[in-house]
Amino acid sequence: MVGKKVIITGVPGVGKTTVVNEALKKLKGEGIEYQSLNFGTFMFEVAKNDKVVENRDQMRTLDRAVQKRLQQRAGQAIAQVSGNVLIDTHASVKTSKGYLAGLPEWVLREIMPDIIVLVETDDDQILMRRLTDETRIRDKEGSRSIGEHQQFNRSIAAAYATLTGCTIKIITNPDFLLERASSELAEVLR
């Protein structure tokens, strides 16, 4: 079965996974099924099997050549999944040496998404979410740096769309308005 391939992305702490989970609940009630995949999980499983990392947060500190190899293998695995697929990932990864494309050309050509969804919100809200999330080890950065990262994600998503011919949708996920953001995503996925 040929299905829709949707990439959903946003900076760490924006709440994209929460928006995805709520949207998929709505769609399931309507009989619309999506397989939700996490690109980082695919990469992490490969890295763990290769004994390259112990925890997921170490992924962004890996050597560029190692990250590239992990991305390739994850992209190839995801490309084999059939039906409606939602791929939760990062458009870019902030490293000590600059931004790294989360979905480089060789990964995009494997996946060939129909649409890229960017989840965004106010930089200060993201900062507060990161500071209160005890489940992850986050880099220390201020709201200005978060804003720069969100802007870079818009730019790189445009480049991704140029390579694949897909569309881009921006969904805002402000505090206390999860219902609105998840409904907007569910509409895109229908």
All domains in the chain, ordered by first residue? 5-37+83-189 (3.40.50.300)
Q: How confident is the model at residue 63 (pLDDT cuts 50, 70, 90)?
A: confident
Please check whether residue 117 is in contact with residue 20, taking contact to mean a CB–CB distance below 8 angstroms.
Answer: no
Q: What is the pLDDT of residue 1?
A: 55
Q: What are phi and psi of 147, to 5 degrees?
A: -60, -40
Position of tokens 């990392």? 53
130's tokens: 């990161």
CA–CA separation, 20 vs 24, rounded Å? 6
Q: What is the pLDDT of residue 176?
A: 93
Tens-place pLDDT, residues 65-105 = 888 888 888 898 899 999 999 999 999 988 888 998 989 99
- Average pLDDT on 44-64 reads 86
Above 80 in pLDDT, residue 60? no
35's tokens: 């397989």
